[in-house]
Amino acid sequence: MKTRIAVSACLVGFKCRYDGKSNRNESVVLLEEHPDIELVPVCPECLGGLTVPRECAERKKGKVVTSSGIDVTRQFEQGSQIALKKVLESGCKLAILKARSPSCGTDAIYDGTFSHVVITGSGVFSALLQENGIKVFSEEQLPLLQEQSGLQG
Protein backbone atom coordinates (compact mmCIF):
# COMPACT_ATOMS: atom_id res chain seq x y z
CA MET A 1 0.00 0.00 0.00
CA LYS A 2 1.35 3.40 -0.99
CA THR A 3 1.96 6.19 1.49
CA ARG A 4 -0.03 9.18 0.28
CA ILE A 5 1.46 12.58 1.01
CA ALA A 6 -0.41 15.83 0.47
CA VAL A 7 1.80 18.41 -1.21
CA SER A 8 1.49 22.06 -2.17
CA ALA A 9 0.77 21.88 -5.89
CA CYS A 10 3.33 24.62 -6.62
CA LEU A 11 6.10 22.39 -5.23
CA VAL A 12 5.49 19.75 -7.92
CA GLY A 13 5.42 22.27 -10.74
CA PHE A 14 1.84 23.56 -10.95
CA LYS A 15 1.92 27.24 -11.90
CA CYS A 16 -0.48 28.30 -9.17
CA ARG A 17 1.59 30.82 -7.21
CA TYR A 18 0.18 34.32 -6.88
CA ASP A 19 2.53 35.46 -9.68
CA GLY A 20 1.66 32.61 -12.06
CA LYS A 21 4.89 30.73 -11.42
CA SER A 22 5.61 27.47 -9.60
CA ASN A 23 7.89 26.69 -6.69
CA ARG A 24 8.97 23.37 -8.23
CA ASN A 25 11.24 21.59 -5.79
CA GLU A 26 13.25 18.73 -7.28
CA SER A 27 13.61 16.95 -3.92
CA VAL A 28 9.82 16.88 -3.52
CA VAL A 29 9.27 15.85 -7.16
CA LEU A 30 11.78 12.99 -6.74
CA LEU A 31 9.56 11.49 -4.02
CA GLU A 32 7.14 10.52 -6.81
CA GLU A 33 9.74 8.06 -8.10
CA HIS A 34 9.56 6.05 -4.87
CA PRO A 35 7.34 3.01 -5.54
CA ASP A 36 5.64 3.32 -2.15
CA ILE A 37 4.81 7.04 -2.32
CA GLU A 38 1.94 8.84 -4.00
CA LEU A 39 1.82 12.63 -3.92
CA VAL A 40 -1.57 14.35 -3.70
CA PRO A 41 -1.15 17.94 -4.97
CA VAL A 42 -3.47 20.64 -3.63
CA CYS A 43 -3.60 24.43 -3.87
CA PRO A 44 -6.00 25.81 -1.26
CA GLU A 45 -5.77 29.30 -2.72
CA CYS A 46 -6.96 28.17 -6.16
CA LEU A 47 -9.55 25.86 -4.59
CA GLY A 48 -10.86 28.94 -2.74
CA GLY A 49 -11.55 30.65 -6.05
CA LEU A 50 -8.52 32.92 -6.25
CA THR A 51 -7.17 33.48 -9.75
CA VAL A 52 -3.70 32.98 -11.16
CA PRO A 53 -2.09 35.43 -11.20
CA ARG A 54 -3.41 37.33 -8.19
CA GLU A 55 -2.21 39.87 -5.68
CA CYS A 56 0.33 38.73 -3.13
CA ALA A 57 -1.29 38.07 0.27
CA GLU A 58 -0.05 37.69 3.84
CA ARG A 59 -1.60 36.81 7.21
CA LYS A 60 -2.12 39.69 9.60
CA LYS A 61 -3.99 39.63 12.92
CA GLY A 62 -6.00 36.52 12.07
CA LYS A 63 -6.92 37.72 8.57
CA VAL A 64 -5.39 37.23 5.15
CA VAL A 65 -5.01 40.47 3.20
CA THR A 66 -3.54 41.36 -0.18
CA SER A 67 -0.81 43.92 -0.69
CA SER A 68 -3.52 46.48 -1.57
CA GLY A 69 -5.47 45.70 1.62
CA ILE A 70 -8.25 43.46 0.26
CA ASP A 71 -9.43 40.87 2.80
CA VAL A 72 -9.24 37.41 1.18
CA THR A 73 -9.64 35.44 4.42
CA ARG A 74 -12.90 33.84 3.24
CA GLN A 75 -11.29 32.49 0.06
CA PHE A 76 -8.31 31.11 2.00
CA GLU A 77 -10.58 29.44 4.56
CA GLN A 78 -12.94 28.04 1.92
CA GLY A 79 -10.08 26.68 -0.18
CA SER A 80 -8.45 25.18 2.89
CA GLN A 81 -11.67 23.33 3.78
CA ILE A 82 -11.95 21.94 0.22
CA ALA A 83 -8.27 20.93 0.23
CA LEU A 84 -8.65 19.31 3.67
CA LYS A 85 -11.52 17.21 2.37
CA LYS A 86 -9.38 16.03 -0.57
CA VAL A 87 -6.46 15.23 1.75
CA LEU A 88 -8.63 13.25 4.18
CA GLU A 89 -10.45 11.39 1.39
CA SER A 90 -7.06 10.47 -0.09
CA GLY A 91 -5.91 8.99 3.21
CA CYS A 92 -2.91 11.27 3.61
CA LYS A 93 -1.29 11.33 7.05
CA LEU A 94 1.59 13.61 6.00
CA ALA A 95 1.88 16.88 4.09
CA ILE A 96 4.76 18.77 2.50
CA LEU A 97 3.77 22.42 2.17
CA LYS A 98 5.34 25.63 0.88
CA ALA A 99 7.34 27.41 3.55
CA ARG A 100 6.17 30.86 4.71
CA SER A 101 3.02 30.82 2.56
CA PRO A 102 -0.12 32.46 4.03
CA SER A 103 -1.97 29.21 3.35
CA CYS A 104 0.76 26.58 3.60
CA GLY A 105 3.45 27.96 5.93
CA THR A 106 4.22 25.33 8.57
CA ASP A 107 5.82 27.19 11.45
CA ALA A 108 6.86 30.53 10.00
CA ILE A 109 4.98 33.02 7.82
CA TYR A 110 5.43 36.57 6.60
CA ASP A 111 4.22 39.15 9.13
CA GLY A 112 1.59 40.93 7.01
CA THR A 113 3.66 44.06 6.29
CA PHE A 114 4.87 42.86 2.86
CA SER A 115 8.45 43.65 3.93
CA HIS A 116 9.76 40.04 3.92
CA VAL A 117 9.79 39.90 7.73
CA VAL A 118 9.20 36.33 8.94
CA ILE A 119 7.42 35.54 12.21
CA THR A 120 6.37 32.38 14.01
CA GLY A 121 3.00 31.17 12.76
CA SER A 122 1.18 28.84 10.41
CA GLY A 123 -0.73 29.34 7.20
CA VAL A 124 -4.49 28.82 7.14
CA PHE A 125 -4.33 25.40 5.42
CA SER A 126 -1.33 24.19 7.40
CA ALA A 127 -3.07 24.98 10.70
CA LEU A 128 -6.24 23.20 9.55
CA LEU A 129 -4.30 20.07 8.58
CA GLN A 130 -2.53 20.03 11.93
CA GLU A 131 -5.85 20.43 13.76
CA ASN A 132 -7.02 17.33 11.89
CA GLY A 133 -4.05 15.15 12.81
CA ILE A 134 -1.99 15.52 9.63
CA LYS A 135 1.77 15.87 10.22
CA VAL A 136 2.95 18.92 8.29
CA PHE A 137 6.44 19.67 7.01
CA SER A 138 7.74 22.42 4.74
CA GLU A 139 9.85 21.56 1.70
CA GLU A 140 12.76 22.91 3.75
CA GLN A 141 12.10 20.21 6.35
CA LEU A 142 12.11 17.36 3.83
CA PRO A 143 15.28 15.77 5.32
CA LEU A 144 13.54 15.71 8.73
CA LEU A 145 10.44 14.08 7.21
CA GLN A 146 12.60 11.47 5.48
CA GLU A 147 14.49 10.77 8.70
CA GLN A 148 11.33 10.41 10.79
CA SER A 149 9.40 8.32 8.28
CA GLY A 150 12.15 6.41 6.48
CA LEU A 151 10.92 7.75 3.11
CA GLN A 152 13.56 8.48 0.52
CA GLY A 153 13.15 9.93 -2.97
What is the value of pTM for the model shown? 0.94
pLDDT above 70 for 32: yes
What DSSP letter does each residue of the chain carry, written as one string?
-PEEEEEEGGGGT---STTS-----HHHHHHTTSTTEEEEEE-HHHHTT--SS---EEEETTEEEETT--B-HHHHHHHHHHHHHHHHHHT--EEEE-TB-TTT-SSEEE-SSSS--EEE---HHHHHHHHTT-EEEEGGGHHHHHHHH----
Instruction: Please write the tens of the pLDDT for every residue from 65-99.
Output: 999 999 999 999 999 999 999 999 999 999 999 99
Q: pLDDT at position 144, please?
A: 78
Rounded mean pLDDT, 57-65? 96
Instruction: Please write the tens of the pLDDT for every residue from 43-54.
Output: 999 999 999 999
Q: Domain coordinates of the chain in residue numbers?
A: 3-149
Q: pLDDT at position 150, please?
A: 67
